[in-house]
Amino acid sequence: MTTTSADELREEVRRRYADSARAVSEGTGSASCGGGSCCADSATQASFGEALYDAEQRGALPKQATLASLGCGNPTAVAELREGETVLDLGSGGGIDVILSAKRVGEHGLAYGLDMTDEMLTLAQRNAREAGIRNAIFLKGVIEQVPLPASSVDVVISNCVINLSTDKAAVLAEMARVLRPGGRVGVSDVVAEDRLSPDDRAERGSYVGCIAGALSVAEYTAGLEAAGFEQVSVEFTHEVADGLHGAIVKAVKSTTPATNGLPTIQPVVSAGCC
């Protein structure tokens, strides 16, 4: 197993997503990394990307937004967004979920997209303009340090990005910080069955392929509860590798302050098998 620092892993993720954005922007193909989605090794390609959105949703989006889709689910379909709400998409990529969210919350609502990759932010802003979206704001930053005030959003969504973080405890804590009491989480992510150890996950795929860094069901649940969430649920939707699944993760921020401090999730500093 190759050992890689957290900073090196983050840079590898940033570089691969930047390459994907350039491929879409330059018209040289759909978002891809080495022949497949950034969040997919060749054997799991069908489990990621634009196919996870229905035809009506794809038809209402700019083509470049769907080409840049790299997720493992459709969080806007499960987040139960309402008119007038403020929603934050962690790791917004080419903007597909921000655009769909902005449409759902309407002109009196607001959709934020947060991404660390300049190329993806440029692509997302272009896609939002082409879609006629006026209530979307794209921010540059990392999901471990969200550049928004505390208690400023109603819903946090994310699409196959949390598994790429090397400090997931910080991500879950930031989700709780920016959400208003009673605010909701509706996340699509790759999640491991509890029977798989971290080494088992690394054997099944790379870190940047959204496999080696996946949390287990028990880890996700415990982490969210420690960060101050309740009504936590993790529901598998489709298998992406042996013992690893695309999943819907839901939770509600407690109306009472968390007392457990940061969730105890060990930061990952291994690149996995590939």
Q: How far is CA 251 from the centre of its chain?
A: 15
Sequence-distant contacts of 46-54: CB under 8 A, at least 24 apart: 47/72, 47/238, 47/239, 47/240, 47/246, 48/72, 48/160, 48/210, 48/240, 50/96, 52/246, 53/96
User: Does residue 260 sit within a domain?
Assistant: no
User: Does residue 272 sit within a domain?
Assistant: no
Q: pLDDT, tens digit, for every residue of 209-251?
A: 889 899 999 999 999 999 999 999 999 999 999 999 999 999 9
Band (27; pLDDT cuts 50, 70, 90)? low
Beta strands (DSSP E) in 29-109 are 86-90
Nearby residues of 228 by Cβ (< 8 Å), 6 or more positions away = 176, 253, 254, 257, 258, 260
User: Does residue 265 sit within a domain?
Assistant: no
Band (68; pLDDT cuts 50, 70, 90)? very low
From CA 226, how far away is CA 199, in angstroms rounded? 24
Q: What is the CATH number of the domain that holds 70?
A: 3.40.50.150
CB-side neighbour CA atoms (13 Å) of 69: 29
pLDDT of 271 higher than 50:
no
User: Does residue 175 sit within a domain?
Assistant: yes
User: Does residue 211 sit within a domain?
Assistant: yes
As a 3-state breakdown, the chain gives helix, strand, coil percent values, each rounded to 5, of 35, 25, 40
Domain extent, residue 27, equals: 6-253
Q: How far is CA 107 from CA 26, 98, 132, 152, 182, in A?
A: 31, 14, 12, 18, 23
pLDDT at 8: 77
Highest mean pLDDT, choosing among 45-49, 51-55, 115-119, 217-221: 217-221
User: Does residue 152 sit within a domain?
Assistant: yes
User: Does residue 273 sit within a domain?
Assistant: no
Q: pLDDT, tens digit, for every residue of 93-122?
A: 889 899 999 999 999 999 999 999 999 999
Give the helix/strand (H/E) hosting 198. helix 198-204
User: Does residue 50 sit within a domain?
Assistant: yes
Poorest-confidence range of 6-15, 89-98, 193-202, 230-239? 6-15
Domain count, the chain: 1
pLDDT at 78: 80
pLDDT at 136: 97
pLDDT of 171 higher than 90:
yes
pLDDT at 25: 61
- When pLDDT is averaged across residues 170-191 and rounded to a whole number, the result is 97
Poorest-confidence range of 3-12, 32-41, 130-139, 248-257? 32-41
